[in-house]
Amino acid sequence: MDFTLTEEQVMIRDMARTFADAELAPYAAQWEEEKTLSRDVLTKAAELGFASIYTKAEHGGSEMGRLDAALIFEQLSRGCVSTAAFLSIHNMVTWMVDTFGDDGMRARFVPKLATMEAIGSYCLTEPGSGSDAAAMKTKAVKDGDSYILNGSKAFISGANFSDVYLIMAQTPRKSGEKSVSAFLVENGTAGLSFGAQEKKMGWHAQPTAQVILEDCRIPAANRIGAEGAGFKFAMAGLDGGRVNIGACSLGGAGAALDAAIQYTGEREQFGKPISAFQNTQFKLADMATELEASRLMIYRAGDMIDKNHPDKSSACAMAKRFATDMGSKIANDALQLHGGYGYLADYGIERIVRDLRVHQILEGTNEIMRVIISRSLLK
């Protein structure tokens, strides 16, 4: 089993790191304070292929793999966790349209999504249904050559910022069976509105709000794939989403560890750097070990998706659970090693701690990850 990255993968990783150092890290604190994403920077990321990482080349996609994506999101998160995580969501939209949309839809939307001329948000969660996605209440009713959508989506990253919203909605059948379909709703469509911006613990740079649909009429051509296939699309995207968010935890934790190594080498107590104390050395050693273990699990899970391994879903759940738990722990340990300075915004560690905490909830809570893992063991 060879864990060595290819020459191309090393180039991809280094390109993402260079971009993060130059375009993300210097502005992360500013974006957090202003509570906004930078469209200019997102466009620059798209120019490097980071808006369509695993999308086919036909309409401008980068046609890379899920392991490549993990390498990219890890490095981008070293600069700004919030921006990197948003790019992961946008990539989900681009991939879903390109993979499941018909030729006409792909030609209309994918080129704009690939360049981030159109920015996409993914809308699955509702106020009353989180992990139980099948309990969604948003409905789409066919009316001639249109669908009329009613309902609301909660915790939507990019709400009132993005240009395109991928909406999962129930499409009622005469038989009474539940049927979920996927739709694209463009910003500015009559009946589409947004709730107030949520006040969050972290991810301050990402606007987050409810997406509200009130008799929102869209062309039937904006349905992605066949009616009733939306739930299958959503499930198909979960493995990759879990690897992506785990990779974002790697990047944030890695940046926090590097900051802790630098700080403990410079900060003196009792006449010597605190890195000279064995307690500090052991803490740093544990943090580095936990980060490396997490990285190996995330990379392996991404590779298993690329190879369509039969155990990929369980591996992705394990990797997501472990990497996001360890990422939060490593960042919190880095804050502790900074002492009181770690609690100050000027040092940037407390922002990483806050930004990484939500990763244990996103893409299926880590409790749901345990359900998936245990089912694979007991089936």
| Selected catalytic residue, list 32, 126, 290, 363 | 363
Alpha carbon distance 130, 118 (integer Å): 27
Alpha carbon distance 53, 94 (integer Å): 9
**Structure token pair of residue 56:** 């086919």
Catalytic-residue membership of 350: no
DSSP secondary structure letters along 11-69: HHHHHHHHHIIIIIGGGHHHHHHHT---HHHHHHHHHTTTTSTTS-GGGT-----HHHH
Helix (H) or strand (E) holding 10: helix 7-19
Residue 268 pairs in a beta bridge with 273
**How far apart, in Å, do the first and last CA atoms of the chain sit?**
27
Q: Positive or negative, the Cα torsion across 139, 184, 80, 41?
A: negative
Selection from 33, 20, 66 nearest residue 236 by Cα: 66
| Alpha helices in 202-269, H assignment, sequence order | 230-266
**Structure token pair of residue 215:** 């008799």
Give the SS3 label for residue 73. helix
Alpha carbon distance 72, 187 (integer Å): 28
Alpha carbon distance 335, 160 (integer Å): 33
Enter the DSSP assignment of 2. -
Alpha carbon distance 91, 244 (integer Å): 10
The residues annotated as belonging to the active site are 363
